[in-house]
Amino acid sequence: MSRKKIVLVGGVAGGASCATRCRRLDETAEILILDRGPYVSFANCGLPYYVGDVIKDESKLLVANAALFRDRFAIEVRTEHEVVAIDRGAREIEVKEHPTGRMYRENYDALVLSPGASAVRPALPGIDLPGIFVVRTIPDSRRIRAWITEKSAKSAVVVGGGFIGLEMAENLVHRGLSVSVVEMLDQVMPPLDPEMARPVQEYLEKHGVRFALGDGVAGFDARGGQICVKTKSGAEHAGDIVILAIGENVGALTNAAAQTAFKDSLVRLLTALKQGGGPAIFVRSCFWASTAKDELLKQACAEVGGVFVDIGTLGKDEANYARSERKIAHAGVANHPGDRGMQAIANALFAALKNQK
């Protein structure tokens, strides 16, 4: 097989895991990671703890950089480079270099899309008020820390009682803030059974966290120097800062027309799987394969003969690989179950490239 060029859109755990696996499968391939953010690999699970001053040094979040990928894996990394278009026929992508505004094209033999998601900011009244934040990136956590310091914040409202919401509540309490958590469902930690979620809530309550469960947010108001979170029941919760922790890209497919458009776009994208004698574009599924988008992705893949990786149901061999691949951990690529999907995609990618002329 001649030397192939593999381009990955997005770094951090997903894209970086796939890139390093590709290197292990082929020592000669040209591998390029393009990420529109300033960091190719960072400990996103540590962001709440950076906000809470448990992690005091921001540099501790940066577990791998472009130099490490270059020197250890011979992988080129370009941060602040955003892929804005794909030309499937020419096997080229259009890239915007953000620092300069320069546009250029890059060719590929195989393209891996792992751009991640965006934090949800629902279209509610007052959603754009100053002091309402999401926590997904290092710049997000930096802005939250700055607001707490500059405003001498004493109270916070966290919207969402899942993993991130509770971690933020814990860390805001650690910083001395009074914290209320508003959750639309009638329990915290929705993935857990209620019997398991209740002790988690009770533990946080012992540390002063207040909960308003079974009550969705209706909007936000600025009032007396604070932000007032208004709920559908008519209750109000005021704080000096509001953290939105209500998921990623939820609600984008709210009607049949939107679902059809999304599926059609996937089908157009995945037609590249038929080009060149094998798959040319691989799409990572979500961690839980039960969302509307994952179901549409399954359907689109079936229509074009594509590859759908259900990360939650990978076999024992992939799980053992994720645990045993110590060099990946050293490169700052998280070894949580979700990365098994990217390793499986890398395996499928090289099987496909072998069929290309």
Contact 263, 300 (CB under 8 A): yes
45 labelled catalytic: yes
Q: Is residue 348 classed exposed, middle or buried when 0-12, 13-18 and 19+ CB atoms within 10 A define those classes? A: middle
What is the torsion angle, in degrees rounded to the nearest 10, for the CA atoms of residue 314, residue 319, residue 325 and residue 328? 50
Contact 354, 1 (CB under 8 A): yes
The CA distance from 247 to 135, in Å, is 10
How many CA atoms lie less than 13 Å away from 149 in the CB half-sphere? 9
The CA distance from 315 to 320, in Å, is 9
Of 18, 22, 45, 286, catalytic: 45
Contact 285, 343 (CB under 8 A): no
How many CA atoms lie less than 13 Å away from 308 in the CB half-sphere? 22
Angle, helices 66-73 vs 12-25, to 10°: value is 20
- Quote the Cα angle for 187-188-191, to 5°: 95
Show which residues are catalytic.
Answer: 45
